[in-house]
Amino acid sequence: MIQISSISKPQPAAAAFASARIAESVPERVVTPGAAGSGAPEPSKSLKFLAAKGKAGPLRALAVRGAIETIIGPTDDRVRVLDTELAPWRMICGLRMRGPSGAGAIGTGWFVGPRTLLTAGHCVHSTQFFGGWASSIEISPGRNGAEFPFRTVRSTRFSSVNRWVEAQDPDFDMGCIHLDEPLGNEVGWFGVGALAPDELEGFLVNVSGYPGDRGGGTEQYHHKNRILRVTERRLFYDVDTFGGQSGAPVWVHETDTAPPLAVGIHAYGVGGAVDGLEANSAPRIIPEVLDQIRTWVESDGGWPQAS
């Protein structure tokens, strides 16, 4: 059993969010609820034609590209998502982070509740980018170039886990953004699943976010491929990404009609791989992490009660 605890950015006028230490045993498969939101209900053509569903599928030859986030192989197979006002793309947000010095960076986040987003830990706390905690983050759900289908909001309240803030452990490179308003009720949020390693093996995964090399962090790009390896705390996959997509959801559709289920938080390129594996990777949603996500959502008011 791994013990992790929440660490929140200190707030000048209010106490930090309570620390939540994980100590109880959690079943191997646990999921949180997802929601499509009250936005436009029509089905997304991009979801139909781009998203990977189920298990098995393509694996192409790998090539070494040493970068923090990586295009794998001789071609870049990412595809721009154009109907970002529809689910699930609108649940994914372009992030504009600012540090205390005014230095800026871009990233990706995604809703897991009405007022709660997940992202990479280094998007909210980074000794390299910010010298600690980010000062503020602008969140733009479903941004599509110069078009903003939904409100852009700003937050100064962030959390991560002790294993990231204190030790920069890449297996726990995960962060949380807390909002004052329930924007997730409009755009929806991902269900999150802690699935057993043997259950994850062979799934086709989707990664969609806001890279810096295409659109400068203003356009959403998606790619899909099969999970290559599952370790105790990480997922490795042959999916093309680039800087700016850190924090993006790594999700599966368990069947052709199943809703998206996030199983990881994209954070690293081949430079973060292990045992010589040339693949991009994500900290896995393990039961202890999912329990922490629940605590963060509950601290923001929780999920609506099912009627």
**pLDDT value at position 276?**
59
**pLDDT value at position 274?**
55
Query: Considering the domain boundaries, does residue 211 fall inside one?
Result: yes
Specify the CATH number for the domain of residue 245.
2.40.10.10
**pLDDT value at position 20?**
35
Query: Considering the domain boundaries, does residue 29 fall inside one?
Result: no
Query: Considering the domain boundaries, does residue 167 fall inside one?
Result: no
**Catalytic position from the list 46, 126, 140, 246:** 246
Query: Considering the domain boundaries, does residue 248 fall inside one?
Result: yes
Query: Considering the domain boundaries, does residue 195 fall inside one?
Result: yes
Question: How much of the chain, in percent, has pLDDT values that exceed 90?
Answer: 72
**d(Cα 85, Cα 189) in Å, to the nearest integer?**
13
* Mean pLDDT of all residues in 27-34: 82
Task: Of 13-22, 177-186, 208-217, 262-271, give the range with the top mean pLDDT.
Answer: 177-186
Distances (CA, A) of 76 to 52, 217, 239, 245: 17, 17, 9, 14
* Mean pLDDT of all residues in 130-157: 97
* Model pTM score: 0.89
281 a catalytic residue: no
**d(Cα 251, Cα 189) in Å, to the nearest integer?**
12
* Mean pLDDT of all residues in 90-117: 96
122 a catalytic residue: yes
Per the structure, the complete domain to which residue 210 belongs is given by 45-86+190-283
Query: Considering the domain boundaries, does residue 288 fall inside one?
Result: no
**pLDDT value at position 278?**
72
On average, the pLDDT of the chain sits at 87
Does the pLDDT at position 59 exceed 90? no
Q: How many folded domains does the chain comprise?
A: 1
Query: Considering the domain boundaries, does residue 199 fall inside one?
Result: yes
Q: Where do we find the tokens 């871009």?
A: 106
**Catalytic position from the list 122, 125, 178, 222:** 122
**pLDDT value at position 74?**
53
Query: Considering the domain boundaries, does residue 95 fall inside one?
Result: no
98 in Cβ contact with 155 (< 8 Å): no
Phi, psi of 217 (to 5 degrees): 85, 15
**pLDDT value at position 220?**
97
Identify the CA nearest to 91 among candidates 264, 208, 169, 3.
208
Q: How do residues 10-30 score in pLDDT, each as one tens digit?
A: 876 433 333 333 334 445 689
* Mean pLDDT of all residues in 61-81: 60
- Confidence tier at 76 by pLDDT (50, 70, 90): confident
Question: How much of the chain, in percent, has pLDDT values that exceed 70?
Answer: 85
**pLDDT value at position 259?**
96
**pLDDT value at position 3?**
78
